[in-house]
Structure 1
Amino acid sequence: MKLTVVAASGGIGRQLLEQALAAGHEVTAVVRDPGKLGETSARVVRADLARAGAGELRAAVAGADAVLSGLGAVGKAGLGVAEAGTRALVGAMREAGARRLLVVSAAPIGTVASPQRPNPPRHDPGEGPVMRHLLTPVVKRVLRAHYADLARMEDAVLASGLDWTVVRPPRLTDGPLTSDYRVAYGRNLRGGSKVSRADVAHCMLRSVGDPDTVGRVLGVAD
């Protein structure tokens, strides 16, 4: 398949890139700084998605069977990139006629308010009591601005008219690829407090050709 990986030098993006190439896919890597990517057999497109317009990205997604995005802020300086970059990406995909989009969000986002969903549920149905009453509230306070950005990103994806999938992992680790993770539709996973970036990337790549994941939110965790 022809795949475009956005934010390919990031934690999940790099895993997407490496696993897709290892599987024999033809990959285009979209990065702000190609120097951070290192040597790769992928086609590399330089683009700052925080400022990019649809025209700048059109060539990167044209002809792609799927676009996989690992966009997300790293630190305060990157706040807003998830929403702005995804809106630019959606515009480019519409212009280029690309349809399949898979993005990474975060486990608590189902309970975070956004312009399109001002009254989300208070709790995720997959959360156990410890996550619901202790861990999730603390994390949401600490990462409030980051989660607001991701919630607005999800708004853009859900309104895109594309064949989308949103993947919501809990705490990310640098653990190895195990392929031994759990997935749930439309909810988080009971007891699922962490998952490796490698396994999130595997889940996304596995979902590319799975019609049951189109238009769905996936919870993924160990």
Structure 2
Amino acid sequence: MNCLLLGATGRVGSHVVNHALKENHYVTLLVRTPENVQSTHENLTIINGNVLNKADITRAMKGMDFVISALNTDGSTTLSQSMPLIIDAMKEEGVRRIITVGTAGILQSRSSPELLRYQSSESKRKLTRAAEDHHRAYEWLKTSGLDWTIVCPTYLPDGEYTGQYRVERDFLPEEGAKISVPDTAEFTWKQVDCDQYIGARVGIAY
């Protein structure tokens, strides 16, 4: 299958690239800095471009079967600005499946279910700018009509691969405190062949 992967030079994205290539998928990366791509493979296509440029996204979307986005906020509004462009390009190309990596801050709060975690007392973060941008991206997906899933890790150290973690639809697993980058990437990739969490956020933690 043909996969468009966004955020491929980031911590989670680079691991997802390896999963996709290991299973012999055809992988296209849209990146601003091609020299930062660490993977090489005959099935790998690298496009130099920007997710904030509709023409670049449209060009990269040609012939894709699904999209994985591991874009992060970088203190900007890249997520919320790029999401409508990604959604439009997917619809134009007839691509329905998108899996993104979000944050536990946009899961529902257990103590105040009407709020998201970053809006409630559950959040330990004083700054909410990143969570707010993830929230806006989530709102775009929620109304897109696409088959979307948002993987929402809590504290995300690099860590090691364990293959042992807990997940929960729309909430962070109770007492979940952290999850490694490799385990987050594995679960994200597994959603390609899974329809259990279509139209949902998924909390992931140990």
Q: Deviations over 1:87-146 (max 9, x none)?
A: 21111111111110001111121359xxxxxx972465xxxxxxx75xx4331x23x111
Q: Deviations over 1:38-59 (max 9, x none)?
A: 352210112212x311x32123
1:121 maps onto 2:114 in alignment = yes
Instruction: Give the aligned length.
Output: 200
Q: Which amino acid aligns with 1:162?
A: L
In 1, Cα distance between the equivalents of 2:113 and 2:32?
33
Counterpart position of 1:220: 204
Q: Which amino acid aligns with 2:85?
A: A
**Pair 23,92 (structure 1): closer, same or farther in 2 beyond 3 Å:** same
Q: Deviations over 1:14-50 (max 9, x none)?
A: 111112112222111121111111352210112212x
Counterpart position of 2:71: 71
Q: Which amino acid aligns with 2:142?
A: L
Q: Which amino acid aligns with 2:71?
A: L
In 1, Cα distance between the equivalents of 2:65 and 2:56?
19
Counterpart position of 1:137: 123
CA contact (8 A) 2:50 2:56 kept: no
| Within-5 A mapping of 1:190-205 | 190-205=174-189
1:180 maps onto 2:178 in alignment = no
Counterpart position of 1:149: 133
Counterpart position of 2:27: 27
Counterpart position of 2:53: 52
Question: Which residue, 72, 77, 85 being the options, matches 2:82?
Answer: 85
Give the % identical residues: 28
Partner-residue secondary structure (3-state), 1:212: coil
TM-score of the pair, normalised by structure 1: 0.83
Q: Which amino acid aligns with 2:50?
A: D
Counterpart position of 1:2: 2
Counterpart position of 1:106: 103
CA contact (8 A) 2:106 2:135 kept: yes
CA contact (8 A) 1:99 1:162 kept: yes
In 1, Cα distance between the equivalents of 2:5 and 2:137?
17
In 1, Cα distance between the equivalents of 2:77 and 2:113?
21
In 2, Cα distance between the equivalents of 1:181 and 1:138?
22
Structure 1 moving runs of 4+ over 4 Å: none
In 2, Cα distance between the equivalents of 1:91 and 1:33?
24
CA-atom RMSD in angstroms: 2.0
In 1, Cα distance between the equivalents of 2:39 and 2:68?
20
Identify unmatched segments of 5+ residues in structure 1.
113-118, 125-131
